[in-house]
Amino acid sequence: MGVRQETGTATAHRVVILGAGYAGMAAAVQLAARVKGREGVRVTVVDAQERFTERMRLHMTATGQRTAELSIPELLEGTGARFVRGWVTAVDTAAKTVRIDDDRVLRYDTLVYGLGGVADTSAVPGAEDHAYTLSSAQDAELLADRLARLGSGTVVVAGSGLTGIESAAEIAERHPQLSVVLLGRQEPGAAMNPRARAYLRAALDRLGVRVCAGVEVVKVLPDAVQLAGGESIAADAVLWTSGTRVSPLTAAAGLAVDEHGRILTDAALRSVSHPEVYAIGDAAAIRQGYGVMHGTCQGGMPTGVHAALSIDRVLRGKQPKPFRFGYYHTPVSLGRRDAVVQFTRPDDSPRRICLTGRMAVRYKETVTASPWPTYGRMKKMPASGAIWPRGGRFTRNQEAQ
C-alpha cells in the first residue's frame, strides 16, 4: 500500500499536536482559539481514539463502571482545529513528518508531542506478559473482564503510588468477594502529612485491602508475584501500576530524552535538541526549581496551555516565556464514597491541611471533571484574553499574561 502524504496549504504554518489527552486537548483548544481567523496557521490534532480517554477514571473503567462518552471531534467543534484519527507510528524530525497507521504521512512546521506515558512493565520480568495495566481504556477494560469473571481469588496491585492506591480501593469496593493485596516499596500515602496518611490507611483497612509496604516485586508469574526476599504471593490477576515510561517513538525520532523516554525541554517547553518540537504532559521531562515535574493532569493541562501560548508568540515574532508551575493538591479517591485530598506546597510537599470523607469526594469529583469547563472557557476566550486563571484553583501556572 502506498503512503499518502497530507501536505495542506502550501503557505500555511502547520502545527501538528500528537495526542488528544488532557495536555494535548488543552494545547489544541488554546492554540486554535489564539489563531482563529488568522490566515496561514493550521492546527491538526492526532489521536488513536475518537473517544476522549479519561485517564483519571481508568480505575473505574477497570472495575466495570461506565464513564462519560466524550467525543474528541465534538470537543474540538467550532475551534477550527481539525482532528485526525490514527496511531502514530513514527516521527521523522529531519523530514518534519509524522507517520500515522504506517500508511499516512503528515507534515509539520511545529510539532507538539503529547502522547502521554504507559505503565513501565519493562522494569520487572514477566510484568509485560502477565500483568494488567491502566495504560489505556482498552487495557482497563481487559482487567474489568478478568475481574468480572473471577468468582473469588486474589488480585495483586503492584505499586503503592496514587494509581495503585486508587485502584486497590476501587477493586475492593466493587468486588468485595476478592482479596486485594497492595504491594509497594513505600507506605501508601508516604508523601502525605500524618493525618492524611492515617486516614488513607484506615480506609484501605476498612475496604479489606491487605497492604504490604517495603517490598520489591522481582518477577511476575502467570499465577503469582515473586518478592525480593524469595517470598511468592499467589495472584489470580496482577495490576501493574509502578513507574511510567514514554513510547520509544521519542528516542527513535532522535529527540533528547531522559531515562524514561520523556522529552527533555527548555524553559519554554521546546525540545532541547529540536526547538520546533514542544513536549507536554506525561511525555515531557520539565525541570522546575524543585526538580523535574511528575505526571499529573494538574501539571499536564498547564503545559499544553503554555505550549500553545509559546507557539503563538513565536508565530508573531516574539520570544516564548518560561513555564512556571507549582503543585496545589494531591486528591486520592478511596472507592466511590471516600477520598482524601492533601493540599501541597508548590514543590509538592504536604501542607498541614487536608480534606477527608464526603468533602474530599466532592472535591475530587470536581477536579476530575475540571477539563470540560476549562476547555469550554478556552474556546470562548477572545484571542487577547486571559487563558488560565491567574493563581487559579487547580494550578499556579503564571503564564496567563
Ligand X SMILES: Cc1cc2nc3c(=O)[nH]c(=O)nc-3n(C[C@H](O)[C@H](O)[C@H](O)COP(=O)(O)OP(=O)(O)OC[C@H]3O[C@@H](n4cnc5c(N)ncnc54)[C@H](O)[C@@H]3O)c2cc1C
List residues binding ligand X (CB under 6 A): 19-24, 46-49, 53, 55-56, 58-59, 87-88, 114-116, 134, 163, 166, 281-283, 295-298, 300, 331
**What minimum distance in Å lies between the beta carbon of 387 and ligand X?**
17
Query: CA-to-CA distance for 240 and 345, rounded, in angstroms?
Result: 29
Q: Are 112 and 276 in contact (CB under 8 A)?
A: no
**Residue 67 or 179 having the CB closest to ligand X:** 67
**What minimum distance in Å lies between the beta carbon of 37 and ligand X?**
27
Q: Are 315 and 326 in contact (CB under 8 A)?
A: no
Residue 178: C-alpha distances to residues 128, 142, 158, 175, 252 (Å): 23, 17, 16, 6, 42
**What minimum distance in Å lies between the beta carbon of 384 and ligand X?**
26
Going 259 to 306 to 32 to 366, the CA torsion angle's sign is positive
**What minimum distance in Å lies between the beta carbon of 110 and ligand X?**
18
Residue whose entry in the numeric block shows the C-alpha cell 505503565: 119
Q: Which residue, judged by CB position, is nearest to ligand X in the bound state? A: 21
**Residue 47 or 338 having the CB closest to ligand X:** 47
The helix (run of H) or strand (run of E) holding residue 368 is: helix 357-368
**Residue 173 or 224 having the CB closest to ligand X:** 173
Query: CA-to-CA distance for 229 and 142, rounded, in angstroms?
Result: 31
Query: CA-to-CA distance for 204 and 333, rounded, in angstroms?
Result: 11
**Residue 77 or 102 having the CB closest to ligand X:** 102
**What minimum distance in Å lies between the beta carbon of 179 and ligand X?**
21
3-class DSSP state of 298: helix
- Grid coordinates standing for 123? 522494569
**What minimum distance in Å lies between the beta carbon of 243 and ligand X?**
12
**Residue 279 or 314 having the CB closest to ligand X:** 279
Q: Are 156 and 233 in contact (CB under 8 A)?
A: yes
**Residue 110 or 244 having the CB closest to ligand X:** 244
DSSP 8-state class, residue 220: E
